[in-house]
Amino acid sequence: MRGNTIFAEGYWKPFHQAFCHRQYSQTKSFVGVAIGLLEEEGKLCLDDKIIDYFPEKADGEWQKYFANQTIREMLMMTTVGGNIYWFVSNDPDRTHYYFNEQRQTRPSGTLWEYDSPGSQVLCALVEKLANKPLLDYLKEKLFNEMHAFENATVLKTPNGDSWGDSAMICTLRDMAAFGRFVMNYGVWNGKRLMNEAYLREATSRLVANDESAHYSAYHQGYGYQIWRVCGGGFAFVGMGDQLTVCYPEKDLLFACTADNQGTNLIREKIFEMLEDMFVTQIQKQPLPENTIAQQALSELLSNLQLRSAQGKTDSDFRSELNGSEYACEKNPMGIEKFSFVFHDHTSGEFRYTNAQGDKVLPFGVNRNAFGKFPQLGYSNEYGAVPTTDGFTYDAATSLAWLEEKKLLLCVQIIDRYFGNMSALFAFKDNEVCARFTKTAEAFLDEYQGDLIARKISS
């Protein structure tokens, strides 16, 4: 966007304009703005001690470093340190868990360290002082006036708090609207909805967040749950590259959803390309009309497809593999047996048996087949809470022949939770070895490791 004008918008099918996408840690920036709204109402001061708002959460005396940690320090992620992985905790209350299990390594207000659990505590503070869920509060204060986030939701933590460090679910245009509001420093359609001073401070470089001497395009400083990035911009950043990037001096905004979990290289490239191709090149006056370039752009945007595994179109080995059953040695995935059943050279099914029973996973060859991933028990509305109602995630699954007797099976989870899993199979005589790898937050854990199997039937 330049100003209020969208000059390019595209979606990789099956995603579309109305799709509500998980924002992951972009949610932290929403929490940071909500804290500013509470400050404006006089319900808190940024230099208040966080423990003063949660006296009921301490099991005994407060540990020494927590005693002085302020709301401002939590917004800036200069906290006591020692990130904790709450998904394996038996404590359903993440605020209680934070105050009693966080490994304190230093006084607050010193080093910057990414503190996702601390952002969740800030969300709990918002909900305690506003006396309503995070999204309801933001709708009341901002979104209803903006006519945005009408179909948005926020997943919950096990005790029912909003999952405030990871789980805002909204459309790409909702993201852009929020970015535009912050870039306008609290004004929407000429009406001030929030004080300017807080948002200018929140989007500025308040603390250095360099993690080494190596250059990083998006470690250019940190504000209040908001990143500074190359090109003089600020950004809301979510795992997998949910990005809203704002350049106030250029009146330029870029937003994207993605699932690039497992690599930060793409994120670095996005920020560098934005700086090189837009921020440094953009002009105040319109460029001359270029109908050929505009047509090429339109065709590109209209033909985007979710990527799939890519390889050879077929293999002579397919007919021999088709329907053959393999029995597995004991393996980390608990897979007892499997087979590949091909409908033709373009599609088929991966059939396997694990601890849950018999599973069927349809795939396309060099293209995605869309359906449900058959593993049961993954979280739905409540993070880290297994489901028991037969719920499964939407998935895109593809297969690619890498060599005559080597194939890659790729699963992309494309639901309110995002993740990916790959399984590489190499066949020799009557044996096969396979390697399963996954990148997903607290699920697909059953799909990582190696196995050896032997053909038992054809």
CATH code assigned at 350: 2.40.128.20
Site of tokens 């489901």: 387
**Is 382 a domain residue?**
yes
Structure confidence at residue 101 (pLDDT)? 85
**Is 305 a domain residue?**
no
pLDDT tens across 290-320, in order?
Answer: 999 999 999 999 999 999 999 999 999 999 9
pLDDT-flagged residues of the chain (< 70): none
Structure confidence at residue 103 (pLDDT)? 74
CATH code assigned at 162: 3.40.710.10
**Is 5 a domain residue?**
no
Residue 200 vs residues 77, 206, 374, 378: alpha-carbon distances, Å: 18, 11, 47, 40
**Which residue, among 255, 187, 253, 243, has the nearest Cα to 217 in the 3D structure?**
243
Q: Which two tokens stand for residue 173?
A: 């245009």
Question: Rounded CA gap, 19 and 171, in Å?
Answer: 6
Residue 151 vs residues 19, 102, 181, 382: alpha-carbon distances, Å: 9, 35, 18, 18
- Picking from 255, 279, 303, the residue at the C-terminal end of a domain is 279
pTM score over 0.85:
yes
pLDDT tens across 178-196, in order?
Answer: 999 999 999 999 999 999 9
Q: Which residues contact 285 (CB under 8 A, 6 or more apart)?
A: none
Rg, the chain, Cα only:
24
Structure confidence at residue 333 (pLDDT)? 98
Q: Which two tokens stand for residue 117?
A: 């659990």
Domain holding 399, by residue range, is 318-457
Q: How many domains does the chain have?
A: 2
Q: Are residues 179 and 322 both part of a single domain?
A: no
